[in-house]
């Protein structure tokens, strides 16, 4: 039988095609070259310097709008997109967030609900990383319940005039186009807003203790006047933004396992070499119990992500199944990172090691794209048929 591989104890790699493995290795190599040498410094400074250059490089890798077809997108499988998310988040959740928001939120919304002109205008330059996109749904007073949003788009002749505020918007200050969701007389609609439009501003949110190497912004819309063709024609109602979130959450199901893998591997290496009481701490049963439990949850999580990927590629993935994956994998990933932190002792709190950075990043990942509680309620409703949201 095949030898036991501590990095792949269940032999999950055998489920992947040579092309899947090649894509994974390419993304892993890029992250090792471009992110890992600098990420601790960026994190400490609370910046993502060179974000435009990095985004163009991610475009050249085919990682932006990776699973979309046409318009310069790679047309990759869901599994391949997931593997890329995992590798990027193994470097840092901030980089994976940049890619998720660009591809699965902003580009996905335009690709699915935009007009042909909107797709031609935005998607090729977004796929190439020339234009960064953001996705404005959350507001200061409306997070888990976005349907109550107050941002409003009113008609003025054939124009639209947008007024309101969005909060916690990834990529906001660096975006060239903002996909903004707003109430209209006919219900919630999406708008592709060029960020240079008068009345639009995106002040960056500072003082974050999580996702520090990621741009997070407020969007201020002060009577932003847009032509009639700025509205995404393909959808009305909250189902528009929710369908985009479901796509992005799928990437997070994989991505969270990247943060967990990096922390697990850091703890495993440390446990083999760090000695106390005259022997490696990995030789103590209590440490082994931690490592065994971490490995079990890590590889179960990757298997779950792979299962959901197969369903997505077959067009069979339901939003409740994405909730299942997001709920489990982010919750387990943060647990793995926190346990890894204990194995590293005092070194666990240092930026010299990745575990605390991953653990604090995952606090955001636990909250955005639907909190743990929202996904429990989604599953609770699906299981019981009873709606407990309100």
Interface ranges with ligand FAD (CB under 6 A): 101, 135-138, 143-144, 168-170, 211, 216, 364, 367-368, 371, 373-374, 389
Assess contact for 87 and 36: CB atoms under 8 A.
no
Shortest Å, Cβ 242 to ligand FAD: 11
Assess contact for 165 and 220: CB atoms under 8 A.
yes
Residue 330: which of 289, 293, 370 has the closest Cα? 370
Q: Report CA-CA distances (Å) from 364 to 117, 233, 252, 261.
A: 35, 32, 12, 18
Q: Which is nearer to ligand FAD, 107 or 298 (CB)?
A: 107
- Tell me whether residue 369 is one of the annotated catalytic residues: yes
Assess contact for 100 and 364: CB atoms under 8 A.
no
Q: Cβ-closest residue to ligand FAD?
A: 143
Q: Which is nearer to ligand FAD, 55 or 287 (CB)?
A: 55
Residue-wise over 344-363: b if at least 16 C-beta within 10 A, else e?
Answer: beeebeeeebbbbbbbbbbb
Q: Which is nearer to ligand FAD, 324 or 368 (CB)?
A: 368
Q: Which is nearer to ligand FAD, 159 or 373 (CB)?
A: 373
Shortest Å, Cβ 172 to ligand FAD: 7
Residue 320 CB partners (closer than 8 Å, separation 6+): 378, 379, 382
Shortest Å, Cβ 111 to ligand FAD: 17
Beta bridge partners of 182: 189
Assess contact for 204 and 173: CB atoms under 8 A.
yes
> Helices then strands (H, E): number in the chain?
12, 9
Q: Which of 89, 352, 369, 373 is catalytic?
A: 369
Shortest Å, Cβ 120 to ligand FAD: 25
Q: Which is nearer to ligand FAD, 125 or 367 (CB)?
A: 367
* C-alpha to C-alpha distance for 322 and 319, rounded to whole angstroms: 5
Assess contact for 221 and 160: CB atoms under 8 A.
no
Shortest Å, Cβ 375 to ligand FAD: 9
Active-site positions?
369
């Amino acid at each position: 039988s095949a030898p036991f591989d501590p990095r792949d104890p269940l032999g999950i790699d055998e489920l992947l095609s040579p092309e899947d493995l090649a894509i994974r290795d390419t993304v892993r190599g890029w992250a090792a070259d471009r992110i890992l040498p600098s990420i601790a410094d960026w994190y400490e400074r609370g910046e993502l310097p060179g974000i435009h250059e990095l985004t163009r490089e991610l475009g050249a890798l085919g990682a932006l709008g990776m699973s979309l077809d046409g318009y310069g997108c790679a047309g990759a499988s869901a599994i391949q997109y997931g593997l890329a998310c995992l590798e990027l988040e193994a470097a840092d959740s901030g980089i994976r967030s940049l890619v998720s928001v660009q591809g699965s939120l902003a580009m996905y919304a335009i690709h699915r609900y935009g007009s042909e002109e909107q797709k031609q205008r935005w998607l090729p330059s977004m796929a190439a990383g020339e234009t960064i996109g953001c996705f404005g749904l959350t507001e200061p007073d409306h997070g888990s319940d976005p349907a109550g949003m107050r941002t409003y788009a009113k008609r003025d002749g054939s124009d639209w005039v947008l007024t309101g505020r969005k909060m916690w918007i990834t990529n906001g200050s660096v975006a060239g186009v903002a996909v903004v969701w707003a109430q209209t007389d006919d219900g919630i609609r999406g708008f592709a807003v060029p960020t240079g439009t008068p009345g639009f501003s995106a002040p960056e949110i500072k003082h974050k203790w999580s996702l520090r190497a990621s741009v997070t912004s407020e969007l201020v819309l002060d009577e932003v006047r847009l032509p009639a063709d700025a509205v995404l024609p393909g959808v009305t109602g909250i189902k528009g933004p929710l369908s985009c979130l479901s796509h992005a959450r799928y990437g997070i199901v994989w991505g969270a396992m990247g943060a967990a893998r990096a922390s697990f591997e850091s703890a495993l290496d440390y446990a083999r070499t760090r000695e106390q009481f005259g022997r490696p701490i990995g030789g103590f049963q209590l440490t082994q119990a931690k490592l065994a439990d971490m490995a079990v949850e890590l590889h179960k999580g990757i298997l779950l992500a792979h299962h959901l990927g197969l369903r997505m590629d077959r067009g069979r993935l339901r939003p409740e199944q994405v909730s299942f994956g997001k709920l489990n994998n982010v919750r387990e990933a943060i647990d793995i990172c926190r346990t890894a932190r204990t194995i590293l002792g005092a070194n666990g709190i240092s930026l010299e090691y990745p575990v605390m950075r991953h653990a604090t990043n995952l606090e955001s990942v636990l909250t955005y794209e639907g909190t743990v509680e929202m996904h429990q309620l989604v599953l609770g409703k699906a299981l019981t048929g009873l709606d407990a949201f309100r």
